Amino acid sequence: MLDAIETIPPASSRDVAMTESRYASTSDNPCAMVRSAFRAMLDAIETIPPASSRDVAMTESRYASTSDHGKRPMNWRILSVVLAVALVVITAFMWATDFVTMQGEWTIYTADCVDGQWQGSACTGRLKAADRYRFRVLKAHREVLFWTIYGSGASGRFTDCDVQDGRTWTCPSTADASRTVTRRMNLGIPEDDEAPGVMQVHRIPKWKWEALKRGLPVGSTALN
């Protein structure tokens, strides 16, 4: 057997090449199949055109708008709450200070001292909402009308007054002065509320007067 094997002539290089070519071309060769599939994949990748800068920008913009979509409603909701709170605060301030009133009108709010006595502007007892005195200016006639709101106080009128607006005016002393709390107003503040000839009262802010009417404790001091 060894002698027979030794008598087989060696394969030439041409025969080896033909054999490899045959195996490479047949579908039964696994290595050839893998190489062919890999080469086809590389060819397919190379045929894909590169993305332009416009396509990249559009893709980035689409992702950015998608990520911000959930944030925008929250931002608007927070802004709406802030604006609503600010509006409530401003409205409350305007109401409490009588910032907006009927044209040519102004009101003085007063308090009584219950279960105590006045020591200057301080009450040794407790405050109680008292009368409200309203003034209406008739600038064209140089007159100031006054009365007590829902009270028993008398009404009257000042004439020949120097009128700037509903909060600033000066009237000469008349017999009617003793029926109200002032005859001279400067920016809504009586300037002669402690002078002889007018009613002596203790003024308080509007918000404090409203709180006292509702039984809320708001201290024991007045404005004068």
Structure confidence at residue 222 (pLDDT): 94
Contact 160, 144 (CB under 8 A): no
159-188 burial, b for 16+ CB within 10 Å, e for fewer?
Answer: eebebeebbbbbbeeeebbebbbbbbbeeb
Distance of CA 82 to the CA centre of its chain: 2
Using one digit for the tens of pLDDT, what is the confidence trace for 35-80?
666 576 656 556 655 656 666 556 556 645 544 555 556 687 777 7
CB 181 within 8 A of CB 109: no
Domain ranges of the chain: 11-44, 105-213
**With a cut of 70, which residues of the chain have pLDDT below it?**
1-38, 40-74, 89-103, 151-153, 193-196
| Token pair of 182 as six digits | 């002032």
Q: What is the pTM of this model?
A: 0.59
- pLDDT score recorded for residue 20: 46
- What amino acid occupies position 16? V
